[in-house]
Structure 1
Amino acid sequence: MAHADPQSADATWIANHLETRLLGADGLPIVGLPRWSRMRVLRGLPNGMIDVWVPRFNLTGLVAVSTIGPVPAPDQDELEAERQDGPTFMGGIGMPGRIVGGANLRTWPVVGNNLLRTVGHNAPVRILDSVEGDDGEEWYRANGLDTRTYQPVTLGYIHHSLVRLPRLRYTSPSPDRGDTPGRHFEADLREPALITAFEDGTPVWSTLTLKGTVSHRTPSGVHHILWRVPNETMTSERVYPPIPRDAPGGYYLTNVLWTQYFTSDGASIHYNYWSSNWGYAGSHGCLGIAYNEARFAWDWADVGTPVYVFT
């Protein structure tokens, strides 16, 4: 969104005298607002809410009238001071990750009465940077992402132990990452197992994935997408050696969507609707992922896309 000049003479400014949340159009919280966060009024609404722009986070949303009051127009130095106000910065990250086991996204990096949203296992997040929490431990400042579009919908803090990030095993150490052009997948089988999509050496998407069991391991090494099937029936009667579908270890699965084979003996990335144990063993060697994730991988990759599998 393009914002008008904050120093415009017709700008109306307010600040919250209570800690509160900035809400989206759906009524769900986007970010926590520390006391005295300055906001520019965009419009009043008839439901006791005000549509505002918050320079501290460069976000727009709704705040309750009962939590705010008028303040003088701030100058640029005051707005910049607000943007710099926050927990101790430890380092930038800028990577896509996934929640492990479920987590609370909080308005400040400490456990307390500061819940922003609860997010489930394998929920997508983008980790912006690392900060020191009030407890002295490492926390991540993170965007919670829409599960279909992967666009940011929240901004808050998550304890680092609740997030799985890519390990960057195959990425280039050079600053411009110029020696890893194009697109490739990296499947890190260390539990919880994670697939990451890289574009020109930069991680752009990731998801927890099912992986092969001890008796049917996902093959490590450098592979490529060999062929793709948008919708198929998978049966153990077509593997080698074949297993009858009703025998121990047998299977017959219809409407398996967006299958991308990366070995000639059948290891693939595909939609898995019969298990949701994301991040752990449970397949015959395939990398099984959830519906939205399988659709993303299908749309993003093509025959020839490299697939690096490691532990």
Structure 2
Amino acid sequence: MTAMSNRKASADIVFGSEVMVPLSLVDISSDQRKYSQTTIQAMAENIAVFGQRQAIEVVTSGDRYQLVFGKLRFEAVSFLGQAEIRANVKRQEEFSAQVTPRLVSIVENMARSELTKLDRSIAIADWCALYRAAQGPLKPGPKSASAERAELSLNLILNSADTELMAASAAFSASFSEAAQHFLGVSRAAVFRALKIAAIPGLQRDRIALHPIADNQSELTALADEPADRQAAILDLILGEKAKNVAEALALLDERPRVTKHSWELVAEKFARMVEPDQDRFFDLQEPAIVRWMAKKGRK
């Protein structure tokens, strides 16, 4: 083991600069995004050929480091068997608040198009929690430090009524310009759906992180609508390839005949979950059919 690998985070560091940091001293929070082995290997091959073109970012945490962003690069360097990684090191005090490292990570990831629907929902929910923490509780009354930490945790289970979720969604989405709402997909309806999806317990989210269901919003929403114990049973059936989707899993659990939905029903369900601008675009594309239908009904 080299002297470098024995070095503590607080020693010989020029903060704000890029240095080589031992992988063994970097801690990664459990809510960081998970990557498939194929994605990690692809990044590793890129680094092997072109080198690590962008440093990861870490903050000091006692005698160790806490990863802020760059988990894929971290895992790729680890895959290559390297002991150190190039990192931009900052003091924890450099961040304006306790939640800022996670917020920086969210902002970086939200701008990346390859986020799954599950990843995006969790990011929006965490971002919303940060906003609520900064703005204070929706209802009057003090909130303990432990309660605030629980709310900021991505492992929380939202027991709030839907009306409160809608209030949180409205307040959060209203804090963005119309252009930002469209770009980030943070309309009130989108935030509401994200909060429901992110309420799926962390254990179940981990199970489906790399499964196709993680990128299927209608399936995630249907799963989120079920109680926690039913969610686990549903995923047992889907991951065990005994059911293709949530509806089939529910039919098996309730011992009901499986119902195959018509294509128009599937389209209608998907349309109902679209944000308003996307619904308007759909109407524009389907205008001839809509005009025909209205004429048939005697409407103008």
TM-score band (shorter)?
under 0.3
Question: Higher strand fraction: Structure 1 or Structure 2?
Answer: 1
